[in-house]
Amino acid sequence: MTKRKWVVLAVSSLLLGCGPEEEAAQQSSPVSVNTETPPRYAVNLKADVAGYYVPATDVQHQNWRLKHIAFKDDVALRHWMMTNDRTAQIAPVLLVFEDMEEGTQNPSGNRRTLTLVPAGFGLSDKKVSIQAISAGLGPVTFDGRWVIEGRALQGDLKIGTQSFENITLNTKTESR
């Protein structure tokens, strides 16, 4: 048998094995699906949550301290999600960290900051889920819920392998 005939025979055998009976057997096998993972970007908000949410206590990983999580208004959220006008550090949801290492102030005297644009987020009137990645920090996730009618957040923040459980973030009322 020639090489070409062997290839045709092999492909034909594969195609025969992929008939409807084989598909039915594959569909009946158990599959684990995580239904709590939000779509890449999902917004289902009725409340206005726009603002800066500052941790009530210090949340620091290595030399980086969480400065705030920022949310823009509903119009900005939906516009950003529906357009391809996406650039670094311009997003309706941002995680902002500041460098606490000595001598890292910029010429104006402010600390150096690291702004993470989420790779995905899910926002509803009850829950918040944010996923980002940083070359220096690794994966960063926040899973929480709104408390005090959208004026505060409470949840778990994970930076790399370090977890901060049940942290509270309040809307910014004073400069920090």
Range name among 33-42, 76-85, 97-106, 146-155 with the lowest pLDDT average: 33-42
Reply yes or no on whether the pLDDT at 150 is more than 80: no
Contacts of 106 by beta carbon, 8 Å cutoff, 6+ apart: 112
Contact between 55 and 69 under an 8 Å Cβ cutoff? The reply is: no
Reply yes or no on whether the pLDDT at 154 is more than 60: yes
Contact between 52 and 70 under an 8 Å Cβ cutoff? The reply is: yes
Contacts of 1 by beta carbon, 8 Å cutoff, 6+ apart: 9
Which amino acid type is present at position 40? Answer: R
| Tokens linked to 95 | 């995680």
Reply yes or no on whether the pLDDT at 1 is more than 70: no
pLDDT band (50, 70, 90) for residue 7: very low
Query: 0.85 exceeded by the pTM?
Result: no
Q: How far apart are CA 14 and CA 153, in angstroms?
A: 54
Percent of the chain with pLDDT over 90: 40
- Structural element, H or E, at residue 54: strand 51-55
Give per-residue pLDDT as tens, 61-102.
Answer: 999 999 999 998 878 887 777 776 666 557 889 999 999 887
Which pLDDT score is estimated for 13? 40
pLDDT band (50, 70, 90) for residue 157: very high
Reply yes or no on whether the pLDDT at 159 is more than 60: yes
Query: Looking at per-residue confidence, does 33 or 126 come out higher?
Result: 126
Long-range contacts of 13-17 (CB under 8 A, 24+ apart): none
Matching residue, tokens 């902002």: 96
Which pLDDT score is estimated for 3? 44
What are the structural domain ranges in the chain? 1-31, 41-171
Reply yes or no on whether the pLDDT at 6 is more than 50: no
